[in-house]
A = this chain, B = another copy of it.
């Protein structure tokens, strides 16, 4: 019997167990053009929190009483469609469940690069794509730039650190705690800031970037964004990717250095990776060879079993992951 996580109630703050229900899915026969996929990896991402609210946003909210969705990798087990046959590995968006049924065009075959399947949810999937276009397109980062990236031990952040280093930038990453900071340094960051160390973030950033920063890749919002504003050089570009600090709190953002947006001609540009999906080939052309040559370190945190999904999701907001957060089925 296939099962899926259903959104039972809309959360306030951090979603408790009362918001989720693991439900049996009705047995369905495949229609013409459909396939059945046994999921092996589920992606667990901060943006999903936004979809649990009933608020118009860049992706529609999850419907109450319906299975949730998200990135997943699996193997075709039954096919009524041309082009996909049992045994094919695919990536798709019918996550939060152990079995996915859908039209063939909802599934993308994994290329044969000899890389771990789950990497197509991380560095070679939406996560990597987000880091890549956020950094190079939105922030227009190039060799010589000094890049500050928050949540640098996270999925997107750890990709940003690596891509920026591979392109000749100076990279400052922030992460919480000595272990994560050591990981970020291992990824090649020139300087690492431990935002849990007790030393004020801004003080640490000023020490790490005595000549200021030209690019900020924001995954966090809050104090990180404010500190970045405080040390931004003339014409610095901010890629605004996420604000995990605010997803559950609902607290307003407080910025002491907002006026520097005007005086230093800063650019803050929000972006959503779905607008870059048509440029996937550019991404693979550059990042594929890096991956194949072993130049990328695929940081991931893996938990096991569909039952763990809600807990794993909540762990994102207390820094429970390094790199990509995944559930293995």
- Give A residues with C-beta under 8 Å from B: 50, 57-58, 221, 240-243, 246-247, 252-256, 258-272, 275
Contact = CB atoms under 8 A, between A and B. Distances in A.
B267 A267 contact: yes
A264 to B, nearest CB: 7
A266 to B, nearest CB: 5
B263 A272 contact: yes
Contacts of A252: 254-256, 258
Contacts of A260: 270
Contacts of A270: 260-267
Contacts of A263: 50, 57-58, 270, 272
A58 B263 CA distance: 5
A271 B261 CA distance: 8
B259 A221 contact: yes
Contacts of A258: 221, 243, 246, 252-253
A270 B269 CA distance: 11
A268 B262 CA distance: 10
A205 B241 CA distance: 27
A240 B50 CA distance: 27
A267 B268 contact: yes
Contacts of A259: 221, 243, 246-247, 253
Contacts of A221: 258-259
Contacts of A267: 267-270
A260 B56 CA distance: 10
B256 A241 contact: no
Contact of A241 (B246, B262, B266, B272): B262
A22 B318 CA distance: 59
B268 A272 contact: no
Contacts of A272: 262-263, 265
A246 B263 CA distance: 13
B264 A58 contact: yes
